[in-house]
Structure 1
Amino acid sequence: MNGRQGKMKDNRRQKGAAAERAAADLLLSAGYRIRDRNWRCRSGELDVVAEDGGVIVFVEVRSRTAGTSFGTAAESVNFRKIRQVRSTAEVYLHAQRLEGREVRFDVVAVELGRDLSIAAINHIQGAF
């Protein structure tokens, strides 16, 4: 990997971390309890697992840099990603002995400024 690719990967990681922090802060301020962040297993990763009342909420965090022409962050959640998050959520529920609990899948779409500031944030409950 050349130097430019390494910097781009680091920048992407920084953007993802900034977006996930903003999403967690938003959820906490709305009264959610954060159960896990970046939970991984063989089938994938869950960005944020939270509780809203008695509901287990799996939150997919998507980010875009303000002013880019690649569509919105929310639009980037495609069928393949939905299937992967649902599959990983099943593993999580089993591993945590939470089968039978009511679940919901949300998306938090974060638009970042070039300096990683939060330009806009949108919480979509029951996104998929």
Structure 2
Amino acid sequence: MRGPPAAIDEDDLHDIRRLGASDDDLAALAERTAARDRTGVPVWPENWPVVLAFCAVATQWRTVWVGGLEGGGLMRTGLDYEGVRAGLAMLGIEVTPDLVRGLQVMEHAALEAWSER
């Protein structure tokens, strides 16, 4: 595994632009990518499309209220896959079985991380 690429190549730029990034967004991303590379965030290169898709639909969580009226809170139960499908379609990201499986892996990891808090 390795962190994000130190330099963003043309294929990466194309994919990121498909997600709706502006030139300013790309400049900020390049800066953050260089900083993130120094911290060693581990992502296999072939997983970047899933990571980018997951980030693009990160607001599409189903939630339920747990606890009482006082001291309760929202708990995420999983991704809203209709919202995920719509979000990815609006961004022109092709939904493939491999992409969905990758999103499910990230979904389960996120739910597990939140449950440990």
Choose 1 or 2 for highest CA Rg: 2
Q: TM-score, normalization: structure 1?
A: 0.33
Taking structure 2 as the reference length, what is the TM-score of the superposition?
Answer: 0.35
Structure number with the higher strand fraction is 1
